[in-house]
């Protein structure tokens, strides 16, 4: 295993008796990389995180964080990371400021100025007990506690739950800044828009298994794009149907619509024999790609 990885798993598996958890999950996250972990509720995202943090023990396989064993070295690992769990809570009677002081003492650092800066940025109330705050305002405190000590790795489970659009934008800006300083970010989410905007690579988990790990641009590049072309003379447009990667061809008068995946060279050469009046290409969103993976799995 690479010593340079912030996270590295090999065949990581967790079973709950006869019930599925995660199965044979293998991936790596590099320092300074934002890695999105995508899947619907129940797919295995939180189980993976809890195994990485030694909150539950794997049935088989291994996980290393900073090159350290996730079970044997869990205390040393936690000292170097920031974690925002999906079920964040810190005691309903505890104000955010007291939580900051407690974690500062536990970590042996004075990060109060940084905490105050983040509180102002996210408009977080550090003085009210957490139990008196709305879900979104508790989430702001959770983000602050995960990041105020400038960790080497951030593990964030559904981090924008409850945040308003303005604070979601602020969160994405913070993630970009953390990446810039070299922090690795493991972002578990089903909010595909934010993942597409901030992540370098994504892993897609389905039914407890990691079915794809791709760079965002490569993942989108493999997906089907929808084209609409208008030509002066439609004669010969039917030849598009026989080209590799072309599907869903519909011709109405001088206009044709179709989808295409992969290399477009054959499509471009075929269209070049026509006098093209207009051409539109619609690139798929990450959500369309993601749903495509799930639909593919359901038909197998």
Least confident of 56-65, 140-149, 217-226: 217-226
pLDDT digits (tens, 9 = 90+) for 136-161: 999 999 999 999 999 999 999 989 88
Average pLDDT value for residue range 200-218: 90
Q: What is the mean pLDDT of residues 2-6?
A: 72
Tokens in use for 123?
A: 């408009």
Q: What was the pLDDT predicted at 290?
A: 74
Q: How confident is the model at residue 218 (pLDDT cuts 50, 70, 90)?
A: confident
**Average pLDDT of the residues in 200-222:** 87
> Could you tell me the pLDDT band of residue 2, with boundaries at 50, 70 and 90?
very low
Q: What confidence score (pLDDT) does residue 147 get?
A: 95
* DSSP bridge partners of 252: 255
User: What percent of the chain is modeled with pLDDT above 70?
Assistant: 96
Predicted TM-score (pTM) of this structure: 0.81
Q: How far apart are the first and last CA of the chain?
A: 33
Q: Looking at residues 104-114, what average pLDDT do you find?
A: 83
Q: What is the C-alpha separation between 98 and 119, in angstroms, rounded? A: 13
Mean pLDDT of 53-61: 94
Average pLDDT over residues 117-136: 94
Per the CB < 8 A criterion, the answer to whether 187 and 286 are in contact is: no
Task: Work out the average pLDDT over 33-39.
Answer: 93
**pLDDT recorded at residue 66:** 95
Q: Which of 203, 127, 122 is nearest to 166 (CA)?
A: 122
Which has the closest alpha carbon to 240: 208, 213, 217, 271? 271
* Mean pLDDT confidence for 285-289: 74
Instruction: Kindly report each contact of residues 292-295 with a partner whose C-beta sits within 8 Å and lies 24 or more positions away, as own/partner.
Output: 292/223, 292/224, 293/204, 293/206, 293/211, 293/212, 294/40, 294/206
Across all residues in the chain, what is the average pLDDT? 89
Does 16 have pLDDT greater than 90? Answer: no
Stronger pLDDT, 297 or 193, i.e. the higher one = 193
Where is pLDDT greater, at 178 or 161? 178
Contact 165, 197 (CB under 8 A): no
* Residue 3 pLDDT > 70: no
pLDDT class of 298 with cuts at 50, 70, 90? low
Angle between helices 112-122 and 135-147 (to 10 degrees): 150
pLDDT higher than threshold 70 for residue 258: yes
The reported pLDDT for the residue numbered 295 is: 64
* Domains of the chain, first to last: 7-220 (3.40.50.300), 224-283 (3.30.70)
Residue 1 has a pLDDT of 38
């Amino acid at each position: 295993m690479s010593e340079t990885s912030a996270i590295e798993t090999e065949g990581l598996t967790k079973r709950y008796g006869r019930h599925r958890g995660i199965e044979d999950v293998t991936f790596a996250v590099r320092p300074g990389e934002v890695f999105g972990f995508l899947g619907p509720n129940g797919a295995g995202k939180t189980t993976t995180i809890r195994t990485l943090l030694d909150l539950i023990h794997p049935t088989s396989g291994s996980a290393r964080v900073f090159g350290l064993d996730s079970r044997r070295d869990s205390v040393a690992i936690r000292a170097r990371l920031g974690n925002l769990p999906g079920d964040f809570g810190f005691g309903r009677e505890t104000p955010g400021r007291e939580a900051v002081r407690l974690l500062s003492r536990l970590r042996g650092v004075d990060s109060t100025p940084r905490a105050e800066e983040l509180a102002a940025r996210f408009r977080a109330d550090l003085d009210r007990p957490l139990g008196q705050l709305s879900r979104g305002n508790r989430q702001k405190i959770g983000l602050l506690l995960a990041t105020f000590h400038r960790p080497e790795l951030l593990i964030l489970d559904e981090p924008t739950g409850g945040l308003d659009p303005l604070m979601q934008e602020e969160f994405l800006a913070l993630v970009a800044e953390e990446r810039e300083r070299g922090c690795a970010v493991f972002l578990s989410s089903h909010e595909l828009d934010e993942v597409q905007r901030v992540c370098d690579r994504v892993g897609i988990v389905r039914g407890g298994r990691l079915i794809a790990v791709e760079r965002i641009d490569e993942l989108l590049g493999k997906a089907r794009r929808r084209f609409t072309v208008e030509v002066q003379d439609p004669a010969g447009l039917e030849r598009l149907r026989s080209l590799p990667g072309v599907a869903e061809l519909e011709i109405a008068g001088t206009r044709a619509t179709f989808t295409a995946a992969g290399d477009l060279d054959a499509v471009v050469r075929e269209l070049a024999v026509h006098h093209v009046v207009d051409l539109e290409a619609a690139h798929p969103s990450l959500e369309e790609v993601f749903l495509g993976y799930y639909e593919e799995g359901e038909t197998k």
